[in-house]
Chain A
Amino acid sequence: MADETMDEFLRDNHDAILAAVQDKMRGDATMTRIAAQRELSESALAGQVLGFWLEGIRSDMTLGTTATMQQSMQWFVRLRAGHDLPFEDGMVLYMFDEISDEIDARIASDALRREYAAYREQVAALINDAFPQ
């Protein structure tokens, strides 16, 4: 376990993290609104959105950058405007925090926890730039 990388951790814990966050967010008013607008079930929407976040986070951790989140934030801004998606600025950081709390709770090694904490701080700054609170 000592040599486990964040990439491996996220690969091995993907389903459990996704299920846990999906559970916490069940009934969230914003997700319910967006699901209705997109004519999706709430669980299908949550699965898509959370899957997107987790894939992006894993891609960044594999590369050792924040490039995916950087581009994704710009994309979210354009997508929200283009498709009239009914979510507030604060929703983006809220989702990232929920996912990050779940990741943090499952990390067993201090080295990985530090690595993720540094990444989390950088991404939070990107989110605050794109979606000011």
Chain B
Amino acid sequence: MDFEEYTDHLLAGEDEECLAAARTVAGDLEGLHHLYVDLIQPAQYRVGELWEAGKISVAAEHLATATNSYVASICYAPLARETTGGPRALIVCTPEEMHELGPRLLADLLECDGWDVDFYGTSMPVRDLVGAIRERKPRFVGLSAALVMHLGSVKRTITAIRDALGVETPPIIVGGNAYRGDGDLWKQVGADFYAADASAAVEMLRALKE
């Protein structure tokens, strides 16, 4: 099933069809990457475009996102592994950002890759984020932003982390829909790395596992 057909099922509220399609794909780790990057991510982008175009309601958009989250959690569960003792990763949305599906998918794939992931979701105050980094000592920090208007907040967050932790600051990787329109925006927020999707991030971050 391609992502357009998958999106049609999402928008029709056919969660069982979505799950069945996802299960045929995500039988192993490679399949889970395929599900997340080639079905769920483009379907989410398509849903956003359809809302912009006035073709679907906010209710349909929210239902699609919730269904994707449900499908991902069911398909991820059998592949989840014990990661205690693995290198720690910290994944969080930038403070004002409310879209958490993308970084949640990244957290799943990192766990499957042996990372011990702390996923903090949305609405994390900067001061508490700095405290969490100091206490949990992650190998890297992943900051997600879906809306371009939140990129100023990403830069302020990165600056606050660097000001507070100095040379102890772990590498910071950014990603999310906010960066899709301009290939250089990630440099302007002061990040060390950028990845266009969760699979690319997992691949890139392997260098930090050693």
Contacts and interface: CB of A to CB of B under 8 A. Distances in A.
Q: For chain A, what secondary structure do more than half of its interface residues adopt (helix, strand, loop), or is it mixed?
A: helix
Interface in A55-72: 55-56, 58-65, 67-68, 70-72
Interface in A31-56: 52, 55-56
Given A63-B189, A71-B181, A82 B52 contact: yes
Given A78-B52, A79-B52, A82-B54, A52 B189 contact: no
Contacts of B151: 59, 62-63, 67-68
Contacts of B188: 63-65, 67
Q: Taking each of B55, B150, B151, which has the highest tally of chain A beta carbons within 10 Å of its own beta carbon?
A: B151
Given A63-B188, A63-B189, A65-B188, A58 B52 contact: no
The secondary-structure label for the interface of chain B is: helix
A61 B149 CA distance: 11
A94 interface: no
Interface size class of B (residues with CB under 8 A): 10 to 19
A11 to B, nearest CB: 9
A16 to B, nearest CB: 19
A61 B153 CA distance: 11
A59 B52 contact: no
Contacts of B148: 59, 67-68, 71-72
B152 interface: yes
A59 B182 contact: no
A67 B182 contact: yes
Interface in B113-167: 148-153, 155-156
A52 B156 contact: no
B79 interface: no
B52 A52 contact: no
Nearest to A60: B152
A84 interface: yes
Contacts of B181: 67, 70-71
A85 B149 CA distance: 21
Interface string A63-96: 1110110111001001101111000000000000
A24 B45 CA distance: 37
A59 B54 contact: no
A64 B149 CA distance: 13
B54 A68 contact: no
Contact of B52 (A55, A60, A75): A75
Interface in B154-210: 155-156, 181-182, 185, 188-189
9 contacts: A55-B149, A55-B152, A59-B152, A62-B155, A63-B155, A63-B185, A67-B151, A67-B181, A78-B52
